[in-house]
Structure 1
Amino acid sequence: MQARVLIVIDLLNDFLDPKGALFCGDEARKIILPVKQRILEFRKNGGHVIFLCDAHAPDDLEFAMFAPHAVKGTWGAEIIKEIKELLDEGDWYDIIEKTRYSGFYGTNLEETLNRMGIPPGIPGNPVEVAGVCTSICVMDTVGDLINRHIHSIVQKSLVADFNPEAQSAAFSRMRDIYGATIAD
């Protein structure tokens, strides 16, 4: 069954612009066009896109682990221009700010999915997930989708990571432990 909802994670300046605080590298930039095309497909076919965006406080405890990034209200926390130009006044998308790795923690993601007709525990309603970083926010969000019995689909061409080994391990975990579909 095809997904009706696409979750796009952290396509932000701080991750995908070379001037970004946690730039994921030139390899990561290769997902921009395929993700943009997938977003356009969802919009054209009546699907819904949810943009999950880091939006940290200036003193966020996460900055003990990673350099300060995606501070709410800054250039680094903005959606990259290639995707931002798609955002109009339509009702085909939602933007949800997050402060942790999983898009569910402290957000209204579950309520948004319910509104889209994707309640927990109902088979046949897969959600497609794209974005960065595969081994962090993508994997944690997929894990929480699976914990709600919502099947997840991750296309390798639509995700990226600054660490290829961590990305490979994330694909294995999402497939073998979570039961997500990992598509080439």
Structure 2
Amino acid sequence: MAAFTAASYSKYEIRRRDPNPKAAALLVIDMQNYFASTAAPILPALRTTVALCRAAGVPVLFTRHRHRSPADYGMLGERWAGNLIFDGTPESELLPDLGRHPGDRVVEKSTYSAFAGTDLEEILRGMGVEEVIVTGVMTNLCCETTAREAFVRGFRVFFSTDATATSNRDLHEATLKNMAYGFAYLVDCNRLEAAVGRKA
């Protein structure tokens, strides 16, 4: 999937705003071996986004999707039967070279939302976070669901256009339209660099 530029998504924007590095956290969603082929095209933008946020003092949190037993399959067991990610397998591990630091939090989850059944909200509130920047895979599933739930829980949401990816362009763009319409401000590496560089 090709990387997206500011010009390619600006047509969806209804409102524009820059993130505040003093109030934001970066969420890196499910960048795991299972999704390696989907994630490969966005790795440069993802690494750039992580580096920009770190330089601006924005905390970086990773999520890892995994299942441990049928008790945590939920509806994913029906929807994705035979394609679940099981804890302890190589596919469940985070990809190397994401710019992770030893102290970075990894939130483990078992459904699309990074908030459902986890302590992510408590972690963010405890850090004084008011905004989240969403990156990772898949754009239209875990990234979109997490972004929607963040909005509903009162966080201002920024959604990356070039550091998120999914199985095809139509699904990616559909999410960008939905995010821009009612849930998030769209950003890319260039806009993020201008925003956090100016306010850091």
CA displacement 1:42-91 (0-9 Å, x = unmatched): 223222011011011254241332242321111111000122xx43433x
One-letter amino acid matched to 2:96: K
Aligned equivalent of 2:30? 10
Q: Which amino acid aligns with 1:154?
A: F
Provide the C-alpha distance between the structure 2 equivalents of 1:161 and 1:82, rounded to a whole number of angstroms: 20
The equivalent residue for 2:12 is none
What is the alpha-carbon root mean square deviation over aligned residues? 1.7
Aligned residues: 164
Contact 1:14 1:69 in 2 (8 A): no
Partner of 2:7: none
SS of the equivalent of 1:81 reads coil
TM-score (norm 2): 0.75
TM-score by length of 1: 0.81
2: CA distance, partners of 1:89 / 1:142: 25
Bigger RCO (CA 8 Å, 6+ sep): 2
**How big is the shift at 1:33?**
1.6
2:169 paired with 1:164: yes
> What is the Cα deviation at residue 174 of structure 1?
1.3
Q: 167-176 or 138-147: which moved more?
A: 167-176
Q: Which of 71, 95, 114 matches 2:125?
A: 114
Q: Which runs of no fewer than 5 residues in structure 1 stay unpaired?
A: 19-23, 119-124
Distance in 1, Cα, partners of 2:78 & 2:127: 36
Gaps of 5+ in 2: 1-18, 189-200
Identity within the alignment, %? 27
SS at match of 1:82: coil
The answer to whether the Cα contact below 8 Å between 1:5 and 1:49 also exists between their aligned partners in 2 is yes
Any idea what the Cα deviations from partners look like across 1:9-54, whole Å, max 9, x if unmatched?
01000011x4xxxxx3xxx411112111221222232220110110
